[in-house]
């Protein structure tokens, strides 16, 4: 446990400015705002003293109306941007609504001064109006894709991702993808263990593969199927370096191969191969961040077999390489000759 405390302290030192400011406005998107509060605004003493500091900045004076009849009183106005290390735009009151010039100028100034700017769902239109997305990759909810690219043709729109990280500018797809983006930022700032702790407290997956084109008919398995498949999933997870055939998995689950595939998909939204790939990537990421093992050893220990195969899947699924990922998130240098 002391080792974990030391890691958290070292990672926190990478975050030059822990002040997170969420933007509030009349017509505030309640869910998106709630995601931001849950991620960055809750007291988390288990994370130490260097955790995020949170405030809400209003673009209007007085009491604000939020979706669902909620009323909001913010901590202050746009002057809070001056102390912000991260500013989050939790949606926007409507894509047909123009963005106030004072907000545009405040965002431009904050970004020029080094603040990171994030948007969730329709909040991307605010960042676009401020010119912060020109020439950059970005995403938003699929419903707004055509309108965004029509209004701002200089944006490199990414249609099939949950979020896009352009360094100091980050955008998410639909509302729930804001959870993925915020967990990604926590992972980037404090590492995998911190992101996993927050995800566990929220009872959500710490990382979701796939994009907006991925629709799951039954996101949560029925209790009966969950009980039947849970031991099998744990077996696969604990033996992630091994190969599993559909026939052997079906036999272990006490089902025919056809029934097994149907019920596995209904319970997880994936094929067994896709689920196993996701688990292997997650384990590989954890080892790259928290161990000195070489890429070759990690590939063998996580079932990829060779470093080349691991690099292929990292490029395909995460748009990076294992070495680049370790350089960004790793806590422990790779052992030479490991």
Helices (H), the chain: 2-12, 30-36, 101-112, 124-129, 145-151, 177-190, 192-202, 223-238, 246-253, 257-268, 272-290, 295-301, 307-318, 322-329
CA 101 from chain centre, in angstroms, equals 30
d(CA 19, CA 172): 20
The Cα–Cα gap between 13 and 55 comes to 21
Closest CA to 76 of 99, 54, 50, 49: 54
Q: Give the count of alpha carbons within 13 A of 65, CB side only.
A: 5
Q: Give how far Cα 253 sits from Cα of 4, 134, 264, 277, 278, Å.
A: 37, 51, 10, 20, 20
Which residues carry out catalysis?
A: 121
CA distances from residue 58 to 64, 106, 129 in whole angstroms, order as listed: 8, 12, 18
Residue with tokens 């997305």: 133
CB 267 within 8 A of CB 216: no
**Close Cβ partners of 139 (under 8 Å, ≥ 6 residues apart):** 124, 157, 158, 159, 161, 162, 163, 164, 171, 172, 173
């Amino acid at each position: 446990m002391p080792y974990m405390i030391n890691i958290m302290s070292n990672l926190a030192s990478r975050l030059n400015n822990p002040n997170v400011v969420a933007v509030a406005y009349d017509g505030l998107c309640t869910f998106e705002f709630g995601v931001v509060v849950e991620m960055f605004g809750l007291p988390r003493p288990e994370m130490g003293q260097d955790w995020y500091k949170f405030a809400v900045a209003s673009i209007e004076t007085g009491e604000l109306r939020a979706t669902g009849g909620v009323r909001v009183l913010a901590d202050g106005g746009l002057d809070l941007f001056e102390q912000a290390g991260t500013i989050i735009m939790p949606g926007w009151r409507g894509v047909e609504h123009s963005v106030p010039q004072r907000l545009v100028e405040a965002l431009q100034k904050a970004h020029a001064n080094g603040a990171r700017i994030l948007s969730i769902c329709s909040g991307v239109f605010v960042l676009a109006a401020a010119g912060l997305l020109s020439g950059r990759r970005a995403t938003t909810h699929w419903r707004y894709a055509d309108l965004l690219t029509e209004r701002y043709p200089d944006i490199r729109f990414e249609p099939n991702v949950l979020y896009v990280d352009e360094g100091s500018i980050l955008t998410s797809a639909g509302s729930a993808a804001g959870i993925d983006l915020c967990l990604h930022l926590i992972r980037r700032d404090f590492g995998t263990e911190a992101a996993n702790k927050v995800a566990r407290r929220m009872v959500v997956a710490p990382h979701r593969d796939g994009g907006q084109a991925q629709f799951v008919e039954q996101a949560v398995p029925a209790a009966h199927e969950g009980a039947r498949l849970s031991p099998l999933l744990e077996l696969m997870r604990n033996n992630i370096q091994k190969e599993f055939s559909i026939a052997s998995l079906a036999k272990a689950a006490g089902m025919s191969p056809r029934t097994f595939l149907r019920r596995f998909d209904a319970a997880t939204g994936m094929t067994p191969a896709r689920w196993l790939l996701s688990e292997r990537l997650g384990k590989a990421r954890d080892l790259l961040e928290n161990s000195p093992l070489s890429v070759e050893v990690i590939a063998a220990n996580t079932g990829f077999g060779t470093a080349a195969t691991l690099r292929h899947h990292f490029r395909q699924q995460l748009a990076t390489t294992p070495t680049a990922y370790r350089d960004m998130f790793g806590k422990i240098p790779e052992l030479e000759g490991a």
